[in-house]
């Protein structure tokens, strides 16, 4: 098969997603209201279609991918390539073998289309006509905009204001696919208006944008809300990445010793890692799992594990997760997709049980790694994905010191060709590192 870039045939596309819920080391705490009462699935029907709610709470280990969706995945470029980073290995002079799954080849440039298509599919099946969502850097908004175009759904995207201003190209991508894009906080919702009254220059955050998108969906009966990360059903759809990777590695006679990925809400990392975590939990493989976050939004390394809202206004149910508090507004780092106060509840449990190790890096060291990767492998990583690249380089250097020929697998969740401003700032020495001094969670409700 020559170069491993060739490991891409259609039979490698799975026909089921992997649901980690039945395999978690402890049951997932349910979503709750501030009173402590458990949120029932039917209460979510104002914002999500029934099938996605079913998937959210399902304890079936394998969930079938509908045939229409499978065909779409194939048409849009799945399976994505599994690539061996030989030139990176050589440049690091490491005995490690480094493989990455490259999601940047998909039409909107990242993994997010995997769940966007699935969500648009189930919404259309249940007669929904319009979707609202939030976006940070714009990758999720672009993916949902394309999915909306494919399934004939209107899409309104609340885009975090700082990204709207710093990243006009992704706004244009979304508009090209036919979506309506508004900077958040916006004057279209109560949540947005309340924030703008107090602080007209508020840079926005994913949490605020989520509040606005949910409010819009709740107030409009033909509209549902769509979320690009954090929730179980989103992580479920992304497991297609890891299931493909497993088959691709199998063809090469390889199995990973370390699985690495960048974490915003956790979806691309879970997507790659969960099928391998399945093996570790059930067959006790010795694989290590490393989840990487920015020092500017260190939910796994410095947050607390407790119930918090998914959004700033407190419209979502409370989820038990590692959180910095829903009022936390991260500094405007270039990895916009990692600027979130919480992290997926399932990933939080795996971190608590030591199955997944969490590390945090500064953006300057992340961009340094990204530039090194670009100059060896040729691909310019998304600033989010570059967090994984930094950890990979550290692991490969460690393998060299220890003389260990380990197999490193990571997710290159997207390309950075629309994130060149971050690269420019790095190259011109203008990048600044920022991290919270103190994390205040005293305002969070006590619900358990």
Ligand X SMILES: *Cc1c(COP(=O)(O)O)cnc(C)c1O
Q: How far is the CB of 72 from ligand X (least distance, A)?
A: 19
What is the length of the chain?
448
Ranges assigned E (strand) in 249-287:
258-262
Instruction: Please identify, using beta-carbon distances, which residue of 138 and 325 lies nearer to ligand X.
Output: 138
Report how far residue 384's alpha carbon sits from residue 358's, in angstroms, rounded to the nearest whole number. Answer: 15
Instruction: Please identify, using beta-carbon distances, which residue of 186 and 267 lies nearer to ligand X.
Output: 267
Report whether 294 contacts 264 (CB < 8 A). no
Sign of the dihedral defined by the CA atoms of residues 257, 231, 420, 426, in that order:
negative
Instruction: Please identify, using beta-carbon distances, which residue of 381 and 399 lies nearer to ligand X.
Output: 381
Instruction: Please identify, using beta-carbon distances, which residue of 94 and 119 lies nearer to ligand X.
Output: 119
Nearest residue to ligand X, scored by beta-carbon proximity? 414
Binding site for ligand X (CB under 6 A): 110, 112, 139-140, 229, 262-269, 337-338, 382, 384-385, 413-414
Q: Where are the alpha helices (DSSP H) in 378-428?
A: 383-402, 420-427
Q: How far is the CB of 39 from ligand X (least distance, A)?
A: 22
Q: How far is the CB of 426 from ligand X (least distance, A)?
A: 17
Ranges assigned E (strand) in 200-315:
223-225, 258-262, 288-294, 304-309
Q: How far is the CB of 60 from ligand X (least distance, A)?
A: 23
Report how far residue 157's alpha carbon sits from residue 174's, in angstroms, rounded to the nearest whole number. Answer: 8
Q: How far is the CB of 52 from ligand X (least distance, A)?
A: 16
Q: How far is the CB of 420 from ligand X (least distance, A)?
A: 15
Instruction: Please identify, using beta-carbon distances, which residue of 266 and 330 lies nearer to ligand X.
Output: 266
Instruction: Please identify, using beta-carbon distances, which residue of 248 and 268 lies nearer to ligand X.
Output: 268
Report whether 139 contacts 414 (CB < 8 A). yes
Which residues is 225 bridged to in the sheet?
132
Instruction: Please identify, using beta-carbon distances, which residue of 361 and 406 lies nearer to ligand X.
Output: 361
CA dihedral 67, 70, 71, 76 (to 10 degrees): 160
Instruction: Please identify, using beta-carbon distances, which residue of 109 and 148 lies nearer to ligand X.
Output: 109
Report how far residue 24's alpha carbon sits from residue 59's, in angstroms, rounded to the nearest whole number. Answer: 10
Q: How far is the CB of 170 from ligand X (least distance, A)?
A: 10
Cα Rg of the chain (Å, integer):
20
Going from the C-alpha of 5 to that of each of 99, 161, 187, 333, 416, the distances in angstroms are 10, 38, 47, 32, 20
Q: How far is the CB of 109 from ligand X (least distance, A)?
A: 7
């Amino acid at each position: 098969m020559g170069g491993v870039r060739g490991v891409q045939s259609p039979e490698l596309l799975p026909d089921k997603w992997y649901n980690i819920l039945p395999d978690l080391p402890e049951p997932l705490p349910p979503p709750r209201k501030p009173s402590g009462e458990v949120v029932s699935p039917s209460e979510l029907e104002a914002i999500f279609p029934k099938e996605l709610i079913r998937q959210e709470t399902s304890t079936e280990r394998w969930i079938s991918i509908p045939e229409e969706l499978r065909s779409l995945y194939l048409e849009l470029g799945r399976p994505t390539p599994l690539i061996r980073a030989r030139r990176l290995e050589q440049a690091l002079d490491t005995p490690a073998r480094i493989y990455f799954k490259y999601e940047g080849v998909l039409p909107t440039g990242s993994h997010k289309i995997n769940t966007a298509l699935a969500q648009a599919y189930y919404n259309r099946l249940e007669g929904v006509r319009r979707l609202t969502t939030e976006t940070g850097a714009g990758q999720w908004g672009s993916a949902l905009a394309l999915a909306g175009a494919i399934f004939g759904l209107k899409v309104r995207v609340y885009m975090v204001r700082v990204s709207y201003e710093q990243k006009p190209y992704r706004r244009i991508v979304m508009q090209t696919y036919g979506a309506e894009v508004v900077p958040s906080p916006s004057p279209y919702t109560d949540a947005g208006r309340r924030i703008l009254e107090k602080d007209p220059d508020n840079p926005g955050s994913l949490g605020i944008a989520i509040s606005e998108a949910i409010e819009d969906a709740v107030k409009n009966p033909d509209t549902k809300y769509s979320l690009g990360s954090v929730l179980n059903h989103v992580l479920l759809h992304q497991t297609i990445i890891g299931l493909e990777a497993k088959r691709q590695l199998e063809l090469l006679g390889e199995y990973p010793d370390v699985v690495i990925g960048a974490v915003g809400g956790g979806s691309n990392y879970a997507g790659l890692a969960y099928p391998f975590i399945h093996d570790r939990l059930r067959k006790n493989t010795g694989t290590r799992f490393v989840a990487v976050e920015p020092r500017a939004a260190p939910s796994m390394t410095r947050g607390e594990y407790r119930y918090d809202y998914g959004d700033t206004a407190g419209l979502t149910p409370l989820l038990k997760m590692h959180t910095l508090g829903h009022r936390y507004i991260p500094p405007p780092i270039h990895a916009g997709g990692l600027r979130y106060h919480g992290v997926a509840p399932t990933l939080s449990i795996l971190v608590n049980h030591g199955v997944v190790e969490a590390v945090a890096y500064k953006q300057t060291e992340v961009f340094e790694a990204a530039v090194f990767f670009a100059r060896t492998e040729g691909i310019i990583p998304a600033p989010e994905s570059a967090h994984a690249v930094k950890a990979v380089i550290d692991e490969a250097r460690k393998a060299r010191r220890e003389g260990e020929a380990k197999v490193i697998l990571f997710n290159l969740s997207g390309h950075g060709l629309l994130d060149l401003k971050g690269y420019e700032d790095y190259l011109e020495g203008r990048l600044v590192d920022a991290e919270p001094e103190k994390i205040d969670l005293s305002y969070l409700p006590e619900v358990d």
